[in-house]
Amino acid sequence: MGKKMKSMDIRKIVDLKEFQRIQDLFSDATGLAAIAVDAQGEYISSGSNFTDFCMKYTRGNAEGSERCSRCDREGQGTYFCHAGLMDFAADLIVDGEKVGAVIGGQVLPQPPDMEKFRQIARELGIQEDEYINALKKVPVRSERMIRSSAELFATVMNQWVNLTYYKKVNQTKMKVFNEESDKVQNAVKEIKMKTRALKQTATMEKMLSLNASIEAGRAGRAGVGFSVVAEEIGRMANESSIVYEEIHGLVDSVERSIEEMSKIDFN
Give the DSSP per-residue string, 236-262.
Answer: HHHHHHHHHHHHHHHHHHHHHHHHHHT
Domain co-membership, 168 together with 188: no
Q: Is-above-0.85 flag for pTM?
A: no
Segment 25-47 shows an average pLDDT of 91
Higher pLDDT, 110 or 195: 110
Instruction: Give Dmax over CA atoms of the chain in angstroms.
Output: 129
Q: Which residues make Cβ contacts (< 8 Å) with residue 259, sequence separation at least 6?
A: none
Domain boundary residue among 172, 189, 212? 172
- How confident is the model at residue 3, as a pLDDT? 47
Q: Does residue 143 belong to any structural domain of this protein?
A: yes
* 153 shares a domain with 69: yes
Residue 52 lies in a domain: yes
Q: Render the burial of 6-29: b for 16+ CB within 10 Å, e for the rest.
A: eebebeebbeeeebbebbeebbee
Residues 209 and 161 in one domain: no
Whether 198 and 97 map to the same domain: the answer is: no
Task: List beta partners, residue 34.
Answer: 48, 104
Same domain, 112 and 213: no
Residue 248 pLDDT: 65
If asked whether residues 69 and 155 sit together in one domain, one would say yes
**Considering the chain, what is the average pLDDT of its residues?**
79
Q: Which residue has the higher pLDDT, 218 or 2?
A: 218
- Do 161 and 215 sit in the same domain of this protein? no
Residue 23, domain member (yes or no)? yes
Same domain for 199 and 70, yes or no, is no
CATH code at 226? Answer: 1.10.287.950
- For residue 266, being part of any structural domain is answered with no
Question: What is the count of structural domains for the chain?
Answer: 2
Highest mean predicted confidence (pLDDT) among 30-34, 212-216, 259-263: 30-34
The HSE-up count of residue 144 (CA atoms within 13 Å, CB side) is 0
* Domain extent for 199: 175-261
Could you tell me if residue 267 is inside a domain? no
Query: Do 132 and 185 share a domain, yes or no?
Result: no
Judgement on whether residues 78 and 116 belong to the same structural domain of the protein: yes
Last residue of a domain, one of 110, 139, 172: 172
Are 170 and 264 a contacting pair, CB within 8 Å?
A: no
Residue 200 falls inside a structural domain: yes
Alpha helices in 125-142, H assignment, sequence order: 128-135
The amino acid occupying position 69 is S
User: What pLDDT sits at residue 170?
Assistant: 79
Within this chain, do residues 121 and 63 fall inside the same structural domain, yes or no? yes
**Tell me: the pLDDT tens digits for 144-167?**
999 999 999 999 999 999 999 988
Domain membership of residue 203 (yes or no) is: yes
Of 172, 207, 240, which marks where a domain is finished?
A: 172
Residue 205 counted as domain residue: yes
Whether residue 91 is found in the same domain as residue 163:
yes
